[in-house]
Amino acid sequence: MKIAIISASIRHGRQTHFVSEELGRRLNASNDIEASLVDLADYAFPLFQDTHKADAPQHGADELRTILQQADGLLFVSPEYNGSYTAALKNMADHFSKAEFNKKAIGVVSVSSGAIGGMRGALQMQQLVLALYAYPIPQMMLVSEVQHKFDEEGKLTDEAFAKKLDTYLQEFLWFASAIYEKKKRGNRG
Ligand SMILES: Cc1cc2nc3c(=O)[nH]c(=O)nc-3n(C[C@H](O)[C@H](O)[C@H](O)COP(=O)(O)O)c2cc1C
């Protein structure tokens, strides 16, 4: 099963990308999972205007479209910025069509330096997932005080947090694989 991790913090000095990388390591530790880390900092999409124009800049859109199309499930990993998810995530979603996301399980992971862990960003990401005709898994992963969970190289240093990540991934994979199996069966049940 293929999972795309959309890492939606693009600022210099970002902490959220450590969370995305850790999720990728944990998913790829399983033989059945192939996780791709999509760093939105690598896809400098202009603010969405009109991608149908022949001369519209592509900025890796074809490559990313293929990754999205091949993904059986996705994780949206975003910091909470001003009570929401990042403009980079919304801009990426607007550049593609619902077809890339339709009927896929999407887990939301919201990251914050504060104590609450980006609850508002997570709720809004779940609304975005619905707008893409995808299925938000009911559990959300709220990462509070991210600055205390990794060292400077991005190595996870908080064991309790590691357990929470694994519990969340188990829930996510339950939903993602249920949908994946259903698609494989097609109309046979
Ligand atoms: C523009 C901006 C807005 C922010 N707004 C919030 C917020 O609404 N709630 C919050 O808990 N943290 C907020 N933060 C702090 C982030 O939680 C913090 O930067 C954290 O490290 C995760 O984001 P990062 O990936 O940019 O590092 C904001 C940070 C920036 C740069």
Domain 2-188: give its CATH code.
3.40.50.360
Question: Of all atoms in ligand 1, which is nearest to the CA of residue 116?
Answer: 11
| Span from the CA of 8 to the centroid of ligand 1 (angstroms) | 12
pLDDT for 49 equals 78
Count of Cβ atoms closer than 10 Å to residue 69 Cβ: 13
To test the pocket of ligand 1, the residue of 21, 81, 142 to mutate (highest count of ligand atoms within 8 Å of its CB) is: 81
To test the pocket of ligand 1, the residue of 6, 85, 112, 141 to mutate (highest count of ligand atoms within 8 Å of its CB) is: 112
Residues 6 or more apart in contact with residue 61 via CB below 8 angstroms: 43, 45, 51, 95, 96
Residues of the chain below pLDDT 70: 50-58
To test the pocket of ligand 1, the residue of 113, 144, 145 to mutate (highest count of ligand atoms within 8 Å of its CB) is: 113
pLDDT for 54 equals 54
Pairing of strands 105-111, 135-136: parallel
Ligand 1 atom 9, closest CA: 80
pLDDT for 56 equals 53
Q: Which tokens in the block code for residue 19? A: 């969370």
Which residues have CB under 6 Å of ligand 1?
Answer: 9, 11, 14-16, 79-83, 111-114, 118, 146
Q: Where are the domains of the chain?
A: 2-188
CA-based nearest residue to 143, from 156, 152, 134: 156
pLDDT for 48 equals 86
Residues 161 and 149 sit within 8 Å (Cβ to Cβ): yes
Q: With a threshold of 0.85, does the pTM exceed it?
A: yes
Residue type, 11: R
